[in-house]
Structure 1
Amino acid sequence: MSLIKLTIKGISYSQTQTGAYALVLSEMEGNRTLPIIIGAFEAQSIAIALEKEIRPPRPLTHDLFKTFANRFSIDIKEVIIHKLVDGVFFSSLVCEKDGIEEVIDTRTSDAIAIAVRFQAPIFTYENILDKAGVYLKLEEELGLNDPSEIQEISLDTESLLGVDNESSYSKLSVSELNEELDQAVADENYELAAKIRDEISQRS
């Protein structure tokens, strides 16, 4: 069975499951999407890996995994979402060391958080895309009236981290804002860092 390559379409807060997020994957060559409910920690980890301007001063769990793998020359070749049972996705990490491939079972949310860090491709099978809509109604999970609206979902790091859109840093200079941003990242206060980053972006 041929593999279908997926890309991350976005992350949205689930309106039906408290504290959960909907990670939306879409096929590279097509319009179908694969929605997966994930926890807040995994959602934040994926968002931080995709975010270019905010870097935690100390490694998160998935960052530690990457450092460990790099240190011992283990490469993540790809992630395969290979099974869907009662709404639960099963995935595998395809790893390689010294020319030998190993397949490791993993939660899908962890697999994608790792794939983003290794820039590894994400794949699934045709039957998974066909079955996904049976067990998970995307328009219900994301509070959408029209399923076509999923095409407009984008990764909103600020709302994911619980950041208020209103900024209290409007009176500071760009130089002062950059200092505040560095301090917030050093303190691992990513909510505050996202807010300051937005203020800087608005002025550029």
Structure 2
Amino acid sequence: MRKMNEAIKELKVVTVSKCTEDGAAYIAVLKEKDGERILPVLIERSEAYLLLMKMKGNKKNALPSSMSDIMRAAFMQCNMSIEEVRIATVEGGVTYCHVLYRQESVFHMIRYCKASDCLILAYTFDCPITIGEALLEHQYMREVGDGMYSIPVNSVSVDALKEALKRAVEDENYELASQLRDEIERRK
């Protein structure tokens, strides 16, 4: 799971916030445990709700059985556990993770799962969320002033890009509009 000599950083979800006016998309904000960098992860409304409940400590019996709770029960019966959720890549606005799990003393990996599901698993199984240093350095949100942040364009969904393109045209910011149009076309 780890590349040779790659530094690994542990992250913690610090908040989940609505990121579209209609509330269809949310952003989970992860912060490195021993630093200041912040990583945005886009998630859908249903996953955001469940993640918030898990973060508040409503684990096992406090919620109706979610898929992560069912997995935890099945894993426990089979002497298995999830040991780590590793953020692996961000493509087209979707963050993907690898899930490292153990069955007895043998480790296995499930690759390229949606991060929204994996963040919920990390809270359900009480395991660390990690990321390679190089990916974190490339993907973290940078403060641009006055409490505003910029995020890498590959972290943004096509719908959000289209909304930003519309605003850029309305504001007559044609250079930004051109860049956004090119990114939307590249993803087709």
TM range (shorter): 0.5 to 0.7
1:82 maps to which of 67, 75, 88: 88
Q: What is the TM-score with the length of structure 1 in the denominator? A: 0.62
Q: 1:3-18 to 2 correspondence within 5 Å? A: 3-15=8-20, 18=23
2:69 is aligned with 1:63: yes
2:58 is aligned with 1:41: no
2:127 is aligned with 1:126: no
2:123 — aligned with what? 116
C-alpha distance in structure 1 between counterparts of 2:35 and 2:105, whole Å? 33
Q: What is the CA deviation profile of residues 9-42 of structure 1, one whole-angstrom value per residue up to 9, with x for unaligned ones?
A: 1101113674111100000111000011101111
When you count strand as a share of all residues, which structure comes out higher? 2
Query: Which runs of 5 or more structure 1 residues have no equivalent in the other structure?
Result: 149-204
Residue 145 of structure 1, CA deviation: 5.2
Structure 1 segments (4+ residues) deviating >4 Å: none
Check whether the contact 1:24–1:36 (CA below 8 A) recurs between aligned residues: yes
The percentage of counterpart residues that share the same residue type is 22
Residue 132 of structure 1, CA deviation: 1.6
Residue 85 of structure 1, CA deviation: 2.7
Letter of the 2:31 counterpart: S
2:110 — aligned with what? 104
Q: What is the TM-score with the length of structure 2 in the denominator? A: 0.67
Change (3 A) 1:138 1:65: farther
1:91 maps to which of 89, 92, 97: 97
Change (3 A) 1:86 1:113: same
1:50 maps to which of 49, 52, 55: 55
Residue 118 of structure 1, CA deviation: 1.0
Query: Which runs of 5 or more structure 2 residues have no equivalent in the other structure?
Result: 1-5, 150-188
Residue 73 of structure 1, CA deviation: 1.2
SS of the residue 2:57 aligns to: coil
C-alpha distance in structure 2 between counterparts of 1:147 and 1:66, whole Å? 39
Check whether the contact 2:42–2:95 (CA below 8 A) recurs between aligned residues: no
C-alpha distance in structure 2 between counterparts of 1:16 and 1:127, whole Å? 32
Check whether the contact 1:87–1:132 (CA below 8 A) recurs between aligned residues: no
Residue 131 of structure 1, CA deviation: 2.1
Cα RMSD between the aligned structures?
A: 2.5
Q: What is the CA deviation profile of residues 85-120 of structure 1, one whole-angstrom value per residue up to 9, with x for unaligned ones?
A: 343222011000121100012111111101101110
Report 1 or 2 for greater relative contact order, CA contacts < 8 Å, sequence distance ≥ 6.
1
Change (3 A) 1:138 1:132: same
The total of aligned residue pairs comes to 141
Check whether the contact 2:85–2:130 (CA below 8 A) recurs between aligned residues: yes
